[in-house]
């Protein structure tokens, strides 16, 4: 089962791709340019060039499921958020449905369903995640929606919590998200679930 990784060149995407390569989990990393592809090819990771703001359906060829971990980033404007986090995610879900893929695994955000409660600068991003998640739920492709808290660059602990009450704090390392994402990809029977991800004390299998 080959997994298309949309957003492979992002901070979570790169860590996930390295973990998948080490685990022998077949993936195809979608990047925006040949320059970005070099990093993956040096590590023996299969790549395909595709742009969420243009045509990228060809990237799905030969893939059985898709991971969406793309993000417009904190330094771009609402226009990029609209095209990548919203429209890009929706188009990917539609292609996955048309192609009959087994699953769409979305990296969303905790409390994406309440964008007005987010800090003002984060509201367009949260609104985009809210709408993209809703579209995915109502599509006919099986899905898993991961909802990480505030992302940090801390070292991986491989320990998790799935609620703010349990965790105590609203954060999780990108490395832990990448690790959880790998475990989800490796669990094909996990479908139509939404999982909050925070740093905690439990192994990932206890959450899944």
Which residues are the active-site residues?
A: 125
Q: SS3 sequence, the chain? A: CCEEEECCCCHHHHHHHHHHHHHCCCEEEEECCHHHHHHHHHCCCCEEECCCCCCCHHHHCCCCEEEECCCCCCCCCHHHHHHHHHHHHHHHHHHHHHHCCCEEEEECCCCCCCHHHCCHHHHHHHHHHHHHHHHHHCCCCCEEEEEECEEECCCCCCCEECCHHHHCCCEEEHHHHHHHHHHHHCCCCCCCEEEEEEECCECHHHHC
Q: Which tokens is 131 given?
A: 């709408």
Single out the residue of 127, 171, 120 nearest to residue 150, CA to CA: 171
């Amino acid at each position: 089962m080959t997994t298309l990784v949309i957003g492979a060149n992002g901070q979570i995407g790169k860590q996930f791709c390295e973990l998948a390569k080490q685990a022998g989990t077949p993936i195809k990393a979608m990047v925006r340019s040949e320059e970005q592809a070099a990093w993956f090819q040096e590590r023996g990771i299969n790549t395909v060039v595709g742009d969420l703001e243009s045509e990228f359906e060809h990237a799905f060829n030969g893939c059985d499921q898709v991971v969406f971990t793309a993000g417009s980033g904190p330094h771009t404007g609402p226009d990029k958020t609209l095209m990548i986090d919203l429209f890009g995610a929706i188009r990917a879900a539609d292609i996955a449905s048309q192609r009959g893929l087994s699953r769409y695994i979305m990296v969303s955000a905790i409390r994406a369903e309440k964008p007005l409660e987010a800090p003002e600068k984060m509201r367009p991003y949260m609104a985009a995640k809210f709408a993209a998640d809703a579209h995915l739920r109502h599509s006919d492709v099986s899905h898993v929606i991961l909802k990480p808290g505030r992302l940090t660059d801390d070292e991986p602990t491989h320990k998790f919590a799935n609620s703010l009450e349990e965790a105590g704090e609203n954060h999780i390392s990108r490395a832990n998200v990448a690790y959880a994402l790998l475990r989800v990809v490796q669990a094909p029977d996990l479908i139509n679930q939404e999982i909050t991800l925070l740093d905690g004390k439990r192994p990932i299998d206890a959450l899944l």
